[in-house]
Structure 1
Amino acid sequence: MRLTEHELTVALTGAAKTVLASSRRGRKRGADIDQTWDEMDRFKRFKLLDGIGTQIFPVLTDLPDTDVPVGGRPSFSEEEIKASVERQLDDDIGRLRRAVVVKTRVTLVQAALSHVPPRVEGDLRQDG
């Protein structure tokens, strides 16, 4: 799947905020997730973004290219995402761990895709 740098950045940040909101810290505080995000220091945000990015970027780039109309967002079935996740995994992990990793990464990729902004005119244009 071809995504712009802006789309990838927004998708990754959205997925990170989703993970943060579901963490013990996010649930316990009950605070606005954007405020919690802003209160985090840059290194903590980097560590969270890096950890999630290493899991979802290979999957996002492995998804099939689709034509996304202006104003639309890319969408994929759970089976397409799951197949892409499974292609990225090594064979040296056990069945149970593999099942957990696949389910978690599919959920992360779905969260990232839900945060991709609508496509605007000129995104991914091919110049000559």
Structure 2
Amino acid sequence: MRFTEHEMTVAVDTVARRLHAATRPPWRRGDAVAAYDGLERMKKWRLKVTAGEVVLPVLTALPERPTVGAKPEFTEAELTAAAQTAGRDVMEHRKPGAWDAMPAKRRDRVLATAVELTRVAVDGMPVRQDPDALIVPDHL
């Protein structure tokens, strides 16, 4: 599916925030959002790179959904098929035969993780705007 640059950026940032909150030690006090905002730029960048490596190939493999005024919605089967296609392509690009050589349990965990993170990314995206109804602000 084709997403705008802004939608992809928001999606990757949302997943990076979720990854930071998930990897934070449970005994840490304070808000996870404030902790993420207080991170150094390099640490945020590393989280975003990790999130992007997982989520961006799956997002581009999703079927086209021209939704305007709402967030796109995908079924579990569509998300799983996109994650499988993207995972196979990425693994085969790095090392031919790596996807088929991976044990079935590990492959299932990789797919489940990619599907869940993609769901988080799509849920975090802003409402889609009509690209044909370009609105130019008065101050420009």
Structure-2-length-normalised TM-score: 0.80
Query: Secondary structure at 2:67's aligned position in 1?
Result: coil
Report how far residue 124 of structure 1 moved. Answer: 9.7
Query: Which amino acid in the other structure matches residue 44 of structure 2?
Result: R
Give 1:24's aligned residue: 24
Label 1:108 to 1:92 Cα distance change in 2 as closer, same or farther (>3 A). same
Report how far residue 9 of structure 1 moved. Answer: 0.4
| Moved beyond 6 Å, runs of 4+ | none
Query: Secondary structure at 1:29's aligned position in 2?
Result: coil
Q: Of the candidates 75, 78, 97, which is equivalent to residue 77 of structure 1?
A: 75
Larger-gyration structure (1/2): 2
Report how far residue 3 of structure 1 moved. Answer: 0.6
Tell me, yes or no, if the aligned pair for 1:4 and 1:124 is still in contact at 8 Å.
no
User: What stretches of structure 2 of length at least 5 have no aligned partner?
Assistant: 89-98, 135-140
Label 1:77 to 1:30 Cα distance change in 2 as closer, same or farther (>3 A). farther
User: What stretches of structure 1 of length at least 5 have no aligned partner?
Assistant: none
Give 2:115's aligned residue: 106
Label 1:124 to 1:22 Cα distance change in 2 as closer, same or farther (>3 A). farther
Tell me, yes or no, if the aligned pair for 1:4 and 1:123 is still in contact at 8 Å.
no
After superposition, what is the alpha-carbon deviation per residue over 1:28-62, rounded to whole angstroms, capped at 9, x for unaligned? 32422321111111111111110110111111001
Give 1:41's aligned residue: 40
Report how far residue 78 of structure 1 moved. Answer: 1.1
Query: Which amino acid in the other structure matches residue 18 of structure 2?
Result: T
Number of equivalences: 123
Between 1:85-94 and 1:96-105, the stretch displaced more is 85-94
Give 2:106's aligned residue: 97
Instruction: Give the root-mean-square deviation of aligned CA atoms.
Output: 1.8
Looking at both structures, which has the greater relative contact order when contacts are Cα pairs under 8 Å and sequence separation is at least 6?
1
Structure-1-length-normalised TM-score: 0.87
